[in-house]
Amino acid sequence: MARILDGKQAAAALRERVRAEANALRADGVTPHLVMIRVGEDPASAVYVRAKEKASASTGIESRTSVLPAETSQEALAERIADLNRDPRVSGILLQLPVPAHISEEEMIAAIDPAKDVDGFHPISMGRLLLELPTFISATPLGILHLLAHYEIPVAGRRVVIVGRSRIVGRPLANLLSSRAAHGNATVTLCHTRTRDLGARTREAELLIAAAGRKRLITAEMVAPGAVVVDVGIHREPDPNRPGKQRLCGDVDFPAVSEIAGAITPVPGGVGPMTVAALMANTVAAARRQSGRSAPQR
């Protein structure tokens, strides 16, 4: 049976470090401040924002949410972002996705000041990551790096297969794990749902990361014995044990794969908590950089 990589436990450790740094900044007169913008009343977005508000409060970060009507124009949203860019009290800006169809997600992300881009989605942030320059790393890849470090799972020299090529997870993670940084130096194969003979590729992995957005895509036959499996997917489905209720599952067939893998993340309770904790880490880092303070020694 695979070792369970408990994201809740690892996230608690990361939040504790973030809290200590936030308290140190506050003692020095700097208050980390995150502003989240939500356009419309998408139920899932509302849940995610509340989780981020709760995490902010637990780590000493001041946060507030600006909720705009679904009919808000792109011009009005751009003005709101510009106001926050100019506000010296605001450390980080997060535009909760998705936005209504009449608003360009790409243009609004690009409107955020890169110095306040704690989501790590700005084109400049993405470009600097590709060039291995200091930047904000999007929260899910950053959370995965912290998760691997927490459980002392080596990356350097290992064969890593990532299934999923999104700009939010797959592509940045491939760059990070293959970089020359301390968290990198792996040999990375980036696959996707249209990869020919996907199972042959995934069976080569010592570290397999599933981020394709396809429910139970990764089966036991696709995993090498002893591999580390990180499941980024999250899906809702009817719960057969509770009529009328739903349950969560991931991109990995957890019951079957956990009998083959050496270690695995659960869904829920794996990557999800790490993503929120990593966002808090980015927010405190933004406040520190904007104030001219140096990073704390680890």
Can 245 be counted among the known catalytic residues? Answer: no
Lay out the sheet containing 263-264: strands in order across: 3-4, 263-264, 228-231, 207-210, 159-163, 187-191
Catalytic residue among 113, 116, 117, 119: 119
How many C-beta atoms lie closer than 10 Å to residue 244's C-beta?
Answer: 6
How many C-beta atoms lie closer than 10 Å to residue 65's C-beta?
Answer: 17
Q: Tokens representing 187?
A: 């040999």
Structural contact between residues 276 and 48, judged by C-beta atoms closer than 8 angstroms? no
User: 264: closest CA among 214, 220, 221, 200?
Assistant: 220
135-149-202 Cα angle (round to 5): 90
How many C-beta atoms lie closer than 10 Å to residue 78's C-beta?
Answer: 15
Can 52 be counted among the known catalytic residues? Answer: yes
Can 119 be counted among the known catalytic residues? Answer: yes
Which residues are identified as catalytic? 52, 96, 119
